């Protein structure tokens, strides 16, 4: 069926285009755009905003013009952001347009983001790091509380000191960073906090008592923070990865009597038959942090290959 073309002029001296969609308006900067209707009758027309998006995006791609990312103009801090899942998160947010500060106890060479040394178990260190990030970028919109430590053992295997240390980093660390960031987040129209929880918060994993307890606390803290700051326009969510292919898991596997067999067992434990990748977790965090997810708050997003909710048939 032939298509009918209609040309609509845009007056670039006014903000008339913003009446279509605030998120699309910055892209309407040409003198005119061409809309191509599908079919010839009124009922077969595509929605106007869809046609604008399709035409302008296609036109820009043909001209080699890079589209602004959904995080364009926003600033994020990612704790534990110099390696592993944290670095993957920082990379993904930056790829989508954010400016990122990687807060880490051990900044690494070769990391492209603005790195700041930060010990999340120390309030003074956290306050100084958040202040430095805001001073460097001039604002703060997104906090990703990713820094954490692991621990193995049953409830009787870990000392009081080990329990305290894990909670100081995994739980209180998130509270410290968020507390320091809140005055800045309140000034943002796209404020979001994303905490890294774990499958261990909802599924009983063997020999992970203290770690599981800390991640269960993260899940509860996330929901408490979400309701406390809802009316301030600050969204709070958490991501709950399954067993991920990270340097920490790699060290655990290396210490096993049979690393290959241990890895196979970890992969088999997850319904989709493999470890979760850091990039997959990063993609989930980006969704939760995105200004496009304005109605998503108080959510725990599982990235676990179905481990939390699926029960595959064995054999």
- Give just the sign of the alpha carbon dihedral 232, 233, 234, 237: positive
Same-domain status, 136 and 38: no
| pLDDT, position 15 | 41
Residue 193 placed within a domain? yes
Domain coverage including residue 110: 75-303
Distance CA 142, CA 108 (A): 22
> Is residue 253 in some structural domain?
yes
Residue 28 pLDDT exceeds 50: no
Query: Does one domain contain both 58 and 79?
Result: no
Q: Which residue has the tokens 């979400």?
A: 226
C-alpha 4/C-alpha 1 separation (Å) is: 10
How high is the pLDDT of residue 251?
A: 74
% of the chain beyond a pLDDT of 90: 64
Q: Are residues 130 and 251 in the same domain?
A: yes
96 lies in the same domain as 194 = yes
Q: What is the mean predicted confidence (pLDDT) over 261-272?
A: 79
Using H for helix, E for strand and C for coil, what is the string for 123-147?
HHHHHHHHHHHHHHHCCCCEEEECC
Instruction: Write down the catalytic residue from 211, 213, 240, 280.
Output: 211
Q: Any residues with CB less than 8 A from the CB of 127 and at least 6 apart, and which?
A: 176, 180
* 287 is an active site residue: no
Domain end call among 63, 89, 105: 63
Domain boundary among 43, 63, 83: 63
User: Residue 50 has what pLDDT?
Assistant: 53
Identify whether 13 is part of a domain.
yes
Statement to judge: residues 274 and 163 lie in one domain = yes
pLDDT at 56: 47
- State how far the Cα of 232 lies from the Cα of 187, in Å rounded to an integer: 10
37 and 131 in a single domain? The answer is no
Average pLDDT over residues 15-39: 41
- How would residue 82 be classed by pLDDT, with cut points 50, 70 and 90? very high
The pLDDT of residue 231: 98
- Percentage of the chain with pLDDT > 70? 77
Q: Is residue 68 part of a domain?
A: no
User: Region 1-7: what's the mean pLDDT?
Assistant: 47
Whether the per-residue pLDDT at 64 is higher than 70: the answer is no
User: What's the pLDDT score for residue 52?
Assistant: 46
Same domain, residue pair 184 and 258: yes
Report residue 61's pLDDT band, with 50, 70 and 90 as the boundaries: low
User: For residue 311, is it within any domain?
Assistant: no
Residues 181 and 114 in one domain: yes
Residue 177 sits in the same domain as residue 255: yes
Residue 14 shares a structural domain with residue 135: no
Mind listing the pLDDT tens digit for each residue in 136-156?
999 999 999 999 999 999 999
Q: Per the domain annotation, does 308 fall within a domain? A: no
Residue 260 covered by a domain: yes
Each residue's pLDDT tens digit, 177-232? 999 999 999 999 999 999 999 999 999 999 999 999 999 999 999 999 999 999 99
Regarding whether 123 and 41 lie in a shared domain, the answer is: no
Total tally of structural domains belonging to the chain: 2
Q: Residue 67 above 70 pLDDT?
A: no
| Cα torsion through 276, 109, 67, 195, rounded to 10 | 50
pLDDT beyond 60 at 26: no
As a whole number of angstroms, the distance between CA 129 and CA 123 comes to 10
User: In this predicted structure, what is the pLDDT of residue 14?
Assistant: 41
Average pLDDT along the chain:
84
Q: Does 166 share its domain with 240? A: yes
Q: Does residue 154 form part of some domain?
A: yes
What does R_g of the chain's alpha carbons equal in angstroms?
Answer: 23
State residue 113's pLDDT score: 98
Answer yes or no: is pLDDT of 133 > 90: yes
Kindly report, residue by residue over 93-122, the tens digit of the pLDDT. 999 999 999 999 999 999 999 999 999 999
For residue 192, report the phi and psi dihedrals to the nearest 5 degrees. -150, 145
Mean pLDDT of 294-313: 92
Neighbouring C-alpha atoms within 13 Å toward the C-beta of 210: 23
CATH of the domain at 215: 3.40.50.720
Pairing of strands 4-9, 32-37: antiparallel
**Residue 281 confidence (pLDDT):** 98
Mean pLDDT of 62-90: 88
How high is the pLDDT of residue 30? 38
């Amino acid at each position: 069926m032939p298509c009918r073309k209609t040309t609509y002029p845009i007056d670039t001296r006014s903000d008339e285009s913003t009446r279509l969609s605030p998120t699309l308006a910055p892209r309407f900067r040409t003198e005119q755009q061409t809309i191509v209707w599908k079919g010839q009758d009124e009922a077969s027309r595509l929605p106007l905003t869809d046609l604008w998006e399709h035409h302008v995006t296609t036109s820009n791609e043909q001209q080699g013009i890079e589209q602004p990312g959904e995080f364009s103009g926003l600033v994020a801090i990612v704790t534990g952001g110099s390696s592993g899942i944290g670095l993957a998160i920082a990379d993904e947010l930056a790829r989508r347009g954010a400016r990122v500060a990687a807060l880490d106890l051990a900044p690494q060479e070769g990391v492209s983001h603005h790195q700041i040394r930060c010990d999340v178990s120390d309030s003074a260190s956290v306050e100084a790091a958040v202040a430095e990030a805001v001073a460097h970028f001039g604002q703060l919109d997104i906090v990703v509380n990713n820094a954490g430590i692991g621990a193995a053992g049953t409830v009787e295997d870990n000392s009081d000191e080990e329990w305290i240390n894990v909670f100081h980093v995994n739980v209180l660390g998130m509270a410290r960073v968020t507390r320091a960031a809140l005055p800045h987040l309140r000034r943002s129209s796209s404020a979001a906090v994303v905490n890294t929880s774990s499958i261990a918060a909802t599924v009983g994993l063997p020999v992970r008592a203290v770690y599981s307890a800390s991640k269960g606390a993260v899940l509860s803290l996330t929901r408490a923070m979400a309701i406390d700051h809802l009316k301030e326009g600050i969204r709070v969510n958490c991501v709950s990865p399954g067993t991920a292919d990270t340097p920490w898991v790699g060290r655990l596997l290396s210490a096993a009597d049979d690393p290959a067999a241990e890895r196979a067992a970890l992969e088999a434990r997850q319904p989709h038959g493999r470890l979760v990748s850091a990039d997959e977790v990063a993609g989930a965090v980006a969704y939760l942090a995105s200004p496009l997810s304005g109605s998503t708050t108080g959510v725990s997003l599982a990235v676990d290959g179905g481990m939390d909710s699926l029960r595959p048939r064995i054999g």
